[in-house]
Amino acid sequence: MSFEVPDDRKYLESHEWVDDADDTARVGISDFAQDELGDVVFVELPSEGDELSAGDEFGVVESIKAVSDLYSPVNGTVTAVNDALEDQPELVNEDPFGEGWMMEVELADDSGLDELLSAEEYREQIE
């Protein structure tokens, strides 16, 4: 089975992705991760203004099969969370790289982006 792994994102080994189009990065979990979890029934996200360091736990995804911690891929400050997931956690399954995003982070100067996996490296990890 092949999973969607957009080339314009960077990835953590724990299956979070980050889209760093500018100073603010959007974060979510990968197609592979949502597939492994099964039907997502609850998502716990951080609060706006929370300071995160790369590797910090920022939330929890609960599915019918498992509860999984979420880890920040970058250093920065949470500027937005996807409130839609409160009522529609299934968006994580349906569109993990789009409507199922989890938070936006204003990147710190030492964001940690260089430490992350490229799409190619991530593909190798999940194959």
Buried b / exposed e along 78-98 (16+ C-beta atoms within 10 A): beebbeebeeebebbbeebbe
Mean pLDDT of the chain: 96
pLDDT given at position 75 = 97
Domains, the chain? 10-113 (2.40.50.100)
Whether the predicted pLDDT of 1 surpasses 80: no
Asked whether residue 22 carries a pLDDT value surpassing 90, the answer given is: no
Q: What is the spatial order of strands in the sheet that 57-63 belongs to?
A: 40-44, 57-63, 67-71
